[in-house]
Amino acid sequence: MDGNATKKNLRFAVLGTGFWANYQIPAWMELQGVELVALYNRTRSKAQALAHQYNVPKVYDDAQALLDNEDLDFVDIITDVETHATLTFLASQKGVAIICQKPMAPNLAIAAQMLRACKKAKVPFFVHENWRWQAPIRKVKELMDTYVIGKAFKARVSFCSAFPVFENQPFLATLDQFILMDIGSHILDTCRFLFGEVETLLCHTLTVNQSIKGEDVANVLMRMTNGISCYAEMSYASILEYEPFPQTFILIEGEQGSIQLTHDYEIHVTTRESTRVVTAAPTSYSWLDPKYALVHASIVDCNRDILAGLQGNHTETTGNDNFETVRLVHACYESSRRNKVIKMRKFR
């Protein structure tokens, strides 16, 4: 359990009890200082099932009724992207802090509206971007910041798989925009976390699986503001010798060596003198699926970071920070559509 307990538990409600709530809720229960008091889902029976499982006292099938009747410090929105804005507006009008799953919104304009609504209401707004909280990715950042490989000049971030993601989340197959909105939100945010902001980008997309509407392959070449050339590749159409899902592979090249995150959480740090191997395995929890421990365990660390923000301390995954990732996602779509390099300008 987290040692940063407060005297008064922060009371919260979960809005949406679908697939990811089965991991988000137990992840919150690993932390002290929070109390889950209500669940909302349009299909009441789904909320009731999770309420019974986790001893949550109240269940609603009307989000407005929940917000009217419950004394809350924050809500955790775990619904489809199309409902994020509506629920954010409702909660902000009640003065309740908001955590929203990624992607923040279906388009950039709506994401900006969500930020403005929370700013006007003076309520904290966070996006649950857990990918950067994966144990091996945090370790890569830690090693990079020691300058053991000197100044970095080139990097590759790779998430390529043939995992049947549409089996447990079939709605993904119906989206007009798929991989960049889904895994791209994670991978592009990881690039920002590791290497800073983007100056220019060029993106190519492709639909290999003809039974889905959106793109399932995306390749993005970015020039970061610090001069690093970063290539991000994403695919759900890659049939490889070893199925790597849900691992992200990273290669960073510096003036004095390289850092490579490869299979099974191994990080190879190579200089002219030698290579040393560091393993950064995720924490094991009783409720997670061992096959996906990498992702599920990162939810706890992301929640811990957001909880710090709710308690008035520093936090990484704010809405304002994630908006820059949202901008990248939509710049990639623009680049792919126009087949042009996009220059990232400061948002006004």
User: Looking up tokens 């889904």, which residue turns up?
Assistant: 182
The two three-digit tokens of residue 270, written as one number: 């190579």
Alpha-carbon distance 158 to 161, whole Å?
10
DSSP SS3 for 58 = strand
Alpha-carbon distance 99 to 120, whole Å?
17
Pairing label, strands 229-235, 217-224: antiparallel
Angle (CA) 310-21-176 rounded to 5° is 100
88's enclosing H/E stretch is helix 84-93
- pLDDT, residue 346, reads 76
- pLDDT, residue 345, reads 85
Q: Provide CATH 3.40.50.720 ranges for the chain.
A: 10-128
Q: Which CATH class is domain 132-281+318-343?
A: alpha beta
User: For residue range 161-187, what is the model confidence (pLDDT) as tens digits?
Assistant: 999 999 888 989 999 999 999 999 999
User: Quick check: 54 and 25 in contact, CB under 8 A?
Assistant: yes
Half-sphere exposure of 328 (CA within 13 A, CB side): 32
Number of C-beta neighbours around residue 280 at 10 A: 17
DSSP SS3 for 132 = helix
Q: Provide CATH 3.30.360.10 ranges for the chain.
A: 132-281+318-343
User: For residue range 259-314, what is the model confidence (pLDDT) as tens digits?
Assistant: 999 999 999 999 999 999 999 999 999 999 999 999 999 999 999 999 999 999 99
Please give the average per-residue pLDDT across 242-254, as a whole number: 97
How many Å separate Cα 241 from the centre of its chain?
A: 27
Angle (CA) 238-187-144 rounded to 5° is 115
- pLDDT, residue 6, reads 43
Alpha-carbon distance 316 to 307, whole Å?
11
Alpha-carbon distance 287 to 302, whole Å?
17
Q: Which CATH class is domain 10-128?
A: alpha beta
Confidence of residue 1 (pLDDT cuts 50, 70, 90): very low
- pLDDT, residue 7, reads 64
Alpha-carbon distance 143 to 33, whole Å?
31
DSSP SS3 for 50 = helix
